[in-house]
Structure 1
Amino acid sequence: MALGPTLGTGLFIGAGQALAIGGPASLLISYAILSLLTYFMATTVAEVATHSPTRHGTLVTNGFRYMTDSMGFAAGILRWYTLAMFVPYEITTAMVNLGLWNPGTTIALRLLIIMTIVVGSNYMPERHFRTSEWLVTRIKVGTLACLLALSLSIGVGGATGHAKWGFHYWKKPGAMHEYLFRGPMGRFWGLLQCVLHSSIAFTFTPEIIVHRAETLEMLPTEIGDVLDPTIQARLPGKVAFDVVTTTLPYILSSLAMGVMAAYNDPLLTNNGAGAGLSPFIIGMNTARIRIVPVTASIAILTSSVASARSFLFLASRTLCAMSELGHAHRVLKIRNQWGVPYVSVGATGLFSLLAFISVGMSSSIATTYFLLFVNSSGYLSWLVSCVIFRYFRQSSGLRHNTNSYGFAIQPFGTYFGALMSLILLLSNGLVGGISGPRPGPRIARLLAAYCSIPVFAILYFAHRFRTMVPYRTSHSNADMHYSQEVHRGKAVSQISESQHGGSALPGSSDVV
């Protein structure tokens, strides 16, 4: 299930900060906007991936195929370290979920235990890891389903036997919180802040959905180096289905959280310090339901640990794929007898050590820093995906939706996605706390919000000046690193051209 890796504390904890800033109506609207944006971005990535499928997945190859090697390298490294940064984020928010907000040495042991579980499980044989992921995904989905059922029960009065809650918190203190300003301007700023905080639950979701569909659904059916076109044609429908099954539970959860807690509850933000308790936990404590809050806290903790190990798996395989394609040091592709790229896993696992920041500062504040950094890197990745789509359409001569594997929403979805990504990227530094103490020094928040931009630029120019790789043209020759992928791309192009009467698909002619 595509929902598995993304269903973590970004939903259970991050949404609490969004609720505190924007209110229940703003939370629901922001999740609806981000769900629509997820669909647009997923179709953007899926259309390119369907025409040029590779066994390494779309997270790595398309940047090199349709842009310069330098841009592809910068985009690949961006996606690697952003996925890796989810690991300390999930570990830190796990501490927040347990109420371990205050810094100190007592938190270090708990962090070490979780890190050992997250990193150690990634050294399991791949087939055992995927089996365990199948199991924990169902645990996370079951947790979400139980929380939604409890919210419904509490809302209609079935849990407490007292007055019905319903949409009481939508009326008092209100549906939309006025942030910084009074009136409509304050509600607009509250909605914008709500979207920024909620983005953490959707970051990389479009690319992960397409990546999983591409690598798991398409590649098993092959004849030689030629992909079965019937399998290839199923990818758009698979992606659309996964988007719906991923975003619908998120929208229902945002509605349920608006029922469970008021936006002015100080526990949502640890009294304005940053991340606080989940709205679900606050609602259960308010309803005075025994044992269930403890069980829910354990379930949310399990979800965060499972998400951390999933993101570490994705990040390490991204780094390994870059090495296998010749874009990273060859030592990173070394695998043991169980198929585990242990060097890539070890290098990526080092990011988990950043969670020890919580030993020196409040885990609520540390979580906010990680959220800002991951969000900005995710917005950059969305922009890169839009640029790849533009070059793909340009190189294949598709100005309109005449291709057989396209989506009716394109290219409008790409334009909308690029505009929204740019707005969110530039607005990310505006994230602050609710009225009162803000999460950490402002200069630290700005650095966390925007440092991904100069890092991306440094990666690009450093690679370009080192290799002096010219920009690609439609008549450039194949590079030695892509001999296998080019052969496959030519085969797919010949199949599509013979069946649909169109021009040869891109994939082989756009590689240096």
Structure 2
Amino acid sequence: MAVGPTIGTGLLIGAGQALAVGGPASLFLSYIVLSFLTFAMTTSLAEVSTHMPSRHGTLITNGYLYLSNSVGFAASYFRWYTLSLFVPYEITSAMVNLGLWKSDAKVAIRMCLITAIVVGTNFLPEKTFKRSEGLFTSIKIGTMASLFVISLALGLGGVNEQTPWGFKYWKHPGAMNEYIVHGAFGRFLAFIQCLLDGSIAFTFAPELIVHRAEMPVSLDAPASLSAAIPGRVTADVFTTAFPYIMSSLAMSAMAPSNDTRLTNNGTGSGFSPYVIGLKDAQIQVVPMIATIGILLSSVASGRSFLYLSSRSLCAMSELGHAPSFFSTRNRWDVPYVAVISSALVSAVAFASVRITSPVTNTYLLRLITSAGSVSSLVSCAVYHQFNQQLKANGITKRYGFSLQPYGTYFGVFFNTLSLLVGGLWAGPKGNLIGSQGARLAVSYLNVVVFGLLYLGHRLQYFQPVVEIERPTDMNGQEHWDSDGPRELRAQKTDPHRKNLDTIPESPEDIELQPSQTMFTDV
């Protein structure tokens, strides 16, 4: 699975909120729509990467190349910021999974322990970290598969002489819930909110899938290898989306959408539908094992996202887009300054000491999903400008998906809609802590953050807000940024480093990585 290292509670716990607001049918349909969106965005990125593969990640390089320096600056720092926010999200999800829903010293102590593990393991030598990541990925995929099999057994065959559950929760309390208003429009609003909540599991999936496919190509970008990217990304989208869709169907059979444990009585995040179903089935030991498995998924995903965010910052520094000290590495090849800087964002998780972990987790979910929409819109703009420059130079792209450019149009529509209706959750007061104004501010904060990054860069160099389009070399070679090739800063580590900064899918992948010093993140 291409996004195996980052499978976390976005799928196992975040889906619980989506189920609670939308109902089982809305959850299932939303995962189908989100899977199609992932395919649309992935094929958009794949067309660009097939023409000119990037070794540093699409949101670090493509903005500079096809749009402007200011957009590239905003997109790359915004990517680092979003990946860093995933770390406190996973930490607070671990608290929610353990049932630590009250603000007290117990939460602070356990949060310190989990944070220490997440941050501390990122200072392990590169080789050691990558081997442990392969193990954690196997555990997470095994947990997801085991929970699916158990839910299948409960749904079809029953356990301990119980009557098979089937899809009884689709009948009672119902397949689709109402949200804010009654009737068909209320069910439509519930489906939209379900899409917004469920998108946490798919954030950055297109970029991770594409970069994993282009990684072997980006060293010398031969046409024969570059042509293999489309087939690889298509296969990876399927192997990622299909388990997610089936998991959403399984979770909808494990817990009713009106179960208050899904949202801690309406205050925010709650237990995973899997854990609720196993507890209701009164199967000994298994609920505890499932809780431990989901906890390990949270911790492992927090490690992965901290790794990705710190290596993004390090890559930006090596390319000259961030201060040089972020690329400082120790003798174990760890960019410790970038790791420390990214880990500081984890302090946001300790807001749970005052306003409870379910509420903190919910606010972080809104921040991350809206940030994902902003990043996706940048990718759509890159694709549009890429096509425009190809036409202007009379160059034929190396590969074109039949879905494009309509898939990109769908991506623009969906992500724009997501940003516009992001404040929908501020409508009903319910039991959520915080004013409606605070919830609205969180929903649209990322638009302001991206705008400030963009304008700050332009004002720094006294450039006009609207930049004159500059010519770009579209000859299909590996690219750097829109100003042409840039000399890398002097590396502070052994230039013959044998390991890529990448999170492998399995321990065997480590031996297959080519030798280079640049950052890749899949």
Whether these two folds match at TM > 0.5 is: yes
2:308: which partner in 1? 314
2:137: which partner in 1? 137
Could you report, residue by residue, the CA deviation over 1:389-434 in whole angstroms, capped at 9, with x for unpaired residues? 1111111118999522221111111111011000001111112598
The worse-fitting range, judged by mean Cα deviation, of 56-65 and 7-16 is 56-65
Could you report, residue by residue, the CA deviation over 1:99-130 in whole angstroms, capped at 9, with x for unpaired residues? 00001122111111111111111112222222
SS in 2 for 1:397: helix
SS in 1 for 2:329: coil
The worse-fitting range, judged by mean Cα deviation, of 231-240 and 143-152 is 231-240
Whole-angstrom CA distance in 2 between matches of 1:327 and 1:175: 49
SS in 1 for 2:132: helix
Q: Does 1:93 align with 2:87?
A: no
SS in 2 for 1:451: helix
2:248: which partner in 1? 254
TM-score by length of 2: 0.88
Trace 1:340-351 onto structure 2 (pairs within 5 A).
Answer: 340-351=334-345
Select the residue among 274, 280, 284 that pairs with 2:268.
274
Q: Does 1:33 align with 2:33?
A: yes
Select the residue among 423, 438, 446 that pairs with 2:432.
438
Q: Which amino acid aligns with 1:81?
A: Y
Using the aligned pairs only, state the percent identity.
Answer: 52
Offset of 1:478 from its aligned partner?
A: 7.0
2:511: which partner in 1? none
Structure 2 unaligned runs (5+)?
474-480, 490-522
Could you report, residue by residue, the CA deviation over 1:264-322 in whole angstroms, capped at 9, with x for unpaired residues? 01101100011010000000111101110000000000001111111111111111111
2:517: which partner in 1? none
2:199: which partner in 1? 199
Could you report, residue by residue, the CA deviation over 1:331-389 in whole angstroms, capped at 9, with x for unpaired residues? 11112222211111110011111110000111111011101111111000000000011
Query: How has the CA–CA distance of structure 1 residues 156 and 391 changed in structure 2, closer, same or farther, with 3 Å as cutoff?
Result: same
**Greater fraction of residues in helix:** 1
Q: Which amino acid aligns with 2:434?
A: G
Q: Which amino acid aligns with 2:305?
A: F
Q: Does 1:54 align with 2:54?
A: yes
1:218: which partner in 2? 217
Whole-angstrom CA distance in 1 between matches of 2:273 and 2:392: 47
The worse-fitting range, judged by mean Cα deviation, of 120-129 and 269-278 is 120-129
Aligned residues: 479
Q: In 1, are the aligned partners of 2:316 and 2:322 still within 8 Å (CA)?
A: yes
Whole-angstrom CA distance in 1 between matches of 2:18 and 2:318: 40
2:188: which partner in 1? 188
1:491: which partner in 2? none
Trace 1:40-439 onto structure 2 (pairs within 5 A).
Answer: 40-215=40-215, 217-219=216-218, 222=219, 226-397=220-391, 403-431=397-425, 436-439=430-433
SS in 1 for 2:486: helix
Structure 1 unaligned runs (5+)?
486-512
Q: In 2, are the aligned partners of 1:98 and 1:297 still within 8 Å (CA)?
A: yes
Q: In 1, are the aligned partners of 2:86 and 2:302 still within 8 Å (CA)?
A: yes
Q: In 1, are the aligned partners of 2:180 and 2:427 still within 8 Å (CA)?
A: no
Q: Which amino acid aligns with 2:363?
A: Y
Whole-angstrom CA distance in 2 between matches of 1:262 and 1:395: 51
Could you report, residue by residue, the CA deviation over 1:242-282 in whole angstroms, capped at 9, with x for unpaired residues? 11111111100100011000000110110001101000000
2:486: which partner in 1? 482
TM-score by length of 1: 0.90
SS in 2 for 1:162: coil
Whole-angstrom CA distance in 2 between matches of 1:475 and 1:429: 39
Q: Does 1:18 align with 2:12?
A: no
Query: How has the CA–CA distance of structure 1 residues 340 and 214 changed in structure 2, closer, same or farther, with 3 Å as cutoff?
Result: farther
Whole-angstrom CA distance in 1 between matches of 2:194 and 2:80: 26
Query: How has the CA–CA distance of structure 1 residues 406 and 337 changed in structure 2, closer, same or farther, with 3 Å as cutoff?
Result: farther
Whole-angstrom CA distance in 2 between matches of 1:266 and 1:315: 34
Q: In 2, are the aligned partners of 1:382 and 1:417 still within 8 Å (CA)?
A: yes
Whole-angstrom CA distance in 2 between matches of 1:293 and 1:37: 33
